[in-house]
């Protein structure tokens, strides 16, 4: 099967050795995504809802580049730094996925690569 890597252009991709997304056949895997824009600026400082919403919009963009959409998402994984804020993360997630209902996990972790990141999301999609 053909493999296509999708890059965001972030300098970290070559340093660490990863892609924004990888498509093999009809499967798209989207790497852990945080709420930073194309200029590496944080979106939604101290706002769990805004960060989650922005992340899902970023995931949606790369899915479109790969020929998919949010409707193709079968799993999301949310890594959060404060599980007590689950309703904020969940509200944004639900706005995109309430009808799609992918499998999901919300896992509290000690921290992300930068302390201002409140959440990181991975997604798996299968183009039907």
Range of the domain at 105: 3-126
> Whole-structure pTM over 0.85, yes or no?
yes
Q: Residue 49's pLDDT is what?
A: 98
- Domains contained in the chain, number: 1
CATH of the domain at 21: 3.30.1330.40
* Residue count (the chain): 128
117: left (phi over 0), alpha (psi -120 to 50) or beta: beta
The token duo for 100 is 């799609």
Grouping H, G, I as helix, E, B as strand and the rest as coil, residue 127 is coil
d(CA 36, CA 41): 5
**Cα–Cα–Cα angle for 4, 6, 7, nearest 5°?**
145
Q: What is the mean pLDDT of each run of 10 residues along the chain (128 residues)?
A: 92 91 98 94 98 98 98 98 98 98 98 97 97
């Amino acid at each position: 099967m053909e493999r296509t890597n999708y890059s965001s252009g972030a300098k970290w991709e070559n340093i660490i050795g990863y892609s924004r997304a990888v498509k093999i056949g009809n499967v798209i895997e989207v790497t852990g995504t945080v709420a930073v824009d194309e200029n590496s600026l944080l979106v939604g400082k101290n706002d769990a809802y805004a960060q989650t919403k922005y992340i899902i919009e970023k995931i949606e963009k790369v899915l479109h580049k790969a020929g998919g959409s949010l409707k193709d998402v079968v799993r999301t994984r949310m890594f959060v730094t404060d599980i007590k804020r689950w309703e904020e993360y969940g509200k944004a997630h639900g706005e995109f996925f309430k009808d799609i209902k992918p499998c999901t996990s919300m896992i509290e972790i000690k921290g992300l690569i930068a302390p201002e990141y409140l959440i990181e999301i991975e997604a798996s999609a299968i183009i039907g």
